[in-house]
Structure 1
Amino acid sequence: MQPNTTKELEFSTALTPRSRITLANKELQNQQRYIARTTVLIPFLGSVLAIGLLPLLGIGLIELSLLVSMYILTGLGITVGFHRYFAHRAFKSNKVIEITLAILGSMAAQGPVIFWVATHRCHHQYSDQPNDPHSPRLHGNGIYNQLRGLCYAHIGWLFESLIVNPLIFAKDLVHNPTIVKINQLYLIWIILGLAIPTAIEGILTGSSIGAFQGFMWGGIVRIFLSHHTTWCINSITHVFGRYRFENADQSGNIIWLAIITLGEGWHNNHHAFPNSAKFGMKWWQFDLGYWVIRSLEVTGMAWDVKSPTPGMIQAKQITSV
Structure 2
Amino acid sequence: MVIIIFFLLHWYLSLFCQSFFLHRYAAHKMFTMTRNWERFFYMFTYACQGSSYLSPRAYAILHRMHHAYSDTEKDPHSPHHAKNLFDMMWKTKNIYNAYLHEKDKAEPRFLKNVPDWKKMDRVGGSYVSRILWGTLYVAIYFFSITVFELPYTHWAMYFLLPIHFLMGPIHGAIVNWSGHKYGYSNFDNKDKSRNSLILDILMLGELFQNNHHKLPSRPNFAVKWFEFDPTYPVVRILHVFRIIRLQKA
TM class by smaller structure? 0.7 to 0.9
Match of 2:211 in 1: 269
**Once the 2 structures are TM-superposed, how far is the Cα of residue 187 of structure 1 from its aligned partner?**
3.3
Match of 1:34 in 2: none
Structure 2-normalised TM-score?
0.75
Q: Which runs of 5+ in 2 are unaligned?
A: none
Match of 2:80 in 1: 137
Match of 1:64 in 2: 4
Q: Pick one of 96, 111, 114 that aligns with 1:173.
A: 114
Task: Select the structure that is richer in helix.
Answer: 1
Distance 1:95 1:248 in 2: 37
Which digits, 9 at most, give the CA deviation of each residue in 1:31-88, with x for residues without a partner? xxxxxxxxxxxxxxxxxxxxxxxxxxxxxx1111111112111111100010001110
Q: Pick one of 46, 68, 72 that aligns with 1:125.
A: 68
> Are the counterparts in 2 of residues 134 and 152 from structure 1 also a CA contact under 8 Å?
no
Counting matched residue pairs gives 233
Larger C-alpha radius of gyration, 1 or 2? 1
Structure 1-normalised TM-score?
0.60
Question: Aligned ranges for residues 296-311 of structure 1 at < 5 Å?
Answer: 296-305=238-247
Which digits, 9 at most, give the CA deviation of each residue in 1:273-299, with x for residues without a partner? 111211122354232221221110121
**Once the 2 structures are TM-superposed, how far is the Cα of residue 200 of structure 1 from its aligned partner?**
7.1
Match of 1:317 in 2: none
Judge which range, 181-190 or 258-267, deviates more. Answer: 181-190
> Are the counterparts in 1 of residues 208 and 222 from structure 2 also a CA contact under 8 Å?
yes
> Are the counterparts in 2 of residues 127 and 135 from structure 1 also a CA contact under 8 Å?
yes
Identity of matched residues, %: 25
Q: Pick one of 162, 180, 183 that aligns with 2:121.
A: 183
Distance 2:78 2:231 in 1: 24
> Are the counterparts in 2 of residues 263 and 286 from structure 1 also a CA contact under 8 Å?
yes
Distance 1:239 1:218 in 2: 26
Q: Which runs of 5+ in 1 are unaligned?
A: 1-60, 140-147, 308-321
1:93 and 1:202, CA in 2 relative to 1: closer, same or farther beyond 3 A?
farther
> Are the counterparts in 2 of residues 251 and 271 from structure 1 also a CA contact under 8 Å?
yes
Over the residues paired in the alignment, what is the CA RMSD in angstroms? 3.6
1:197 and 1:118, CA in 2 relative to 1: closer, same or farther beyond 3 A?
same
Amino acid at match of 2:3: E
**Once the 2 structures are TM-superposed, how far is the Cα of residue 129 of structure 1 from its aligned partner?**
1.9
**Once the 2 structures are TM-superposed, how far is the Cα of residue 204 of structure 1 from its aligned partner?**
8.7
